[in-house]
A and B are shown apart, each in its own frame.
Chain A
Amino acid sequence: EPEVTQTPSHQVTQMGQEVILRCVPISNHLYFYWYRQILGQKVEFLVSFYNNEISEKSEIFDDQFSVERPDGSNFTLKIRSTKLEDSAMYFCASGQGTYLQETQYFGPGTRLLVL
């Protein structure tokens, strides 16, 4: 069964450093998402991406964040200058459409720790 994959599974970085989190969505999906979950808190939506453009973003997704689909298979989330509060589990997801009943498929997550 096709699945969403994410690398790395864990990343430790120093505050102020740039990190890139990578995702390979399911191959025939067109819609891509990033979510994050700070320890003990809700899973929060960050951004959705379609047709090489951001279609929706949350207030969390400020200028420090960017997304890219550089080669037609990978989908990346970049944090330019990490802060302590960026420490979280980051989930990538993909889906075939945006109808309300569509299923979204999630990767296993990248646990980011900012020191």
Chain B
Amino acid sequence: GNSVTQMEGPVTLSEEAFLTINCTYTATGYPSLFWYVQYPGEGLQLLLKATKADDKGSNKGFEATYRKETTSFHLEKGSVQVSDSAVYFCALRARNAGGTSYGKLTFGQGTILTVHP
């Protein structure tokens, strides 16, 4: 079945440090890939997405590139801020074995990021 594996957390960084959160996936066919972010006390918000191989999703200084050859979608940011402290979820949407999609997302376990001033 489909699955997503994220790097273990929590991740603690100083402000302006470089961030990488690793994400790899297993899926039927060619999934779409997403990063969602959850700020304290809030719901999941879409951060960025990529829908085909070699696509790069980007938003708010975050980037992730869809790497089909390594089945990865690592999240990066060149200079993190305190306000980036949140939980980050990698997710995919893929067709099931029968070739259909009813829209469900499959999530990784989430990575807690804490950024200190």
Contact = CB atoms under 8 A, between A and B. Distances in A.
Interface residues of B, number: 28
A42 B8 CA distance: 12
B43 A42 contact: no
Given A100-B95, A101-B32, A106-B36, A42 B102 contact: no
B103 A108 contact: no
Nearest to A50: B102
A43 B91 CA distance: 10
Interface of B: 30-32, 34, 36, 41-46, 49, 51, 89, 91, 93-95, 101-110
Given A4-B43, A108-B42, 13 more contacts: A33-B104, A43-B44, A45-B106, A56-B103, A98-B101, A98-B103, A100-B51, A100-B101, A101-B49, A103-B34, A103-B46, A106-B45, A109-B43
